[in-house]
Chains A and B, each alone.
Chain A
């Protein structure tokens, strides 16, 4: 079974600064998908970014980018020019490429605080 580990329960960043959230995972599969979801106080789960394991190029979405290290099984999220609206719980998630079960396996989350 796959596991996802987020070793930083809490992080803080000054507004306009850059912060990196860590995520590692354990899997024996070679093809899979990785995601970062954001959960603000409203509780809504919002997709931030996703990465296909077969792609070497790191995914980027505006101020959000990932550092995907397949050999190290590491998938960190970098938020540039942090904004107050980025404050949320961030979850790293894994999804298998094969099989009929397509559920996400989540890490325990990192609570990000953005300081004005």
Chain B
């Protein structure tokens, strides 16, 4: 069974469009995350979220917004896509206990044309 899943795995779209990436975890974790991996493979946190708190990396444009319909899901919405948004986006989750490891989804490769 997949622990952290993301859909779609690949997303090709035009500049200016709005798109969403879905993330689901079946691990019962309390905290979920979105990371961005750029063309040089550098990974950077975008958001971390649990039931109580959304923490946003201040460098993330407000065109990006996480939405959590329930504890098992944290979707990423992106408005007015730009060429520079092309990257691989990873969802991750971890239990509330801080010592626990984060588990990553398979990633979504976004290409903005």
Contacts and interface: CB of A to CB of B under 8 A. Distances in A.
Interface of A: 33, 35, 37, 39, 42-47, 50, 52, 89, 91, 95, 97, 100-106, 108-109
Nearest to B101: A47
Contact of B104 (A33, A45, A95, A100): A45
Interface of B: 31, 33, 35, 40-45, 48, 53, 55, 57, 88, 90, 92, 94, 98-99, 101-104, 106-107, 109
A89 B55 CA distance: 28
Contacts of A45: 90, 92, 104, 107
B106 A44 contact: yes
Contact of B88 (A43, A91, A100, A105): A43
Contacts of A97: 98
Residue of A89, A91, A100 contacting most chain B CB atoms (<10 Å): A100
Contacts of A105: 45
Contacts of B101: 35, 47, 50
A101 B48 contact: yes
Given A44-B104, A101-B55, A102-B31, A109 B41 contact: yes
Given A91-B43, A103-B48, A108-B40, A43 B31 contact: no
A43 B98 CA distance: 25
Contacts of B102: 47, 102, 104
Nearest to B98: A102
Nearest to A111: B41
Contact of A109 (B42, B53, B90, B103): B42
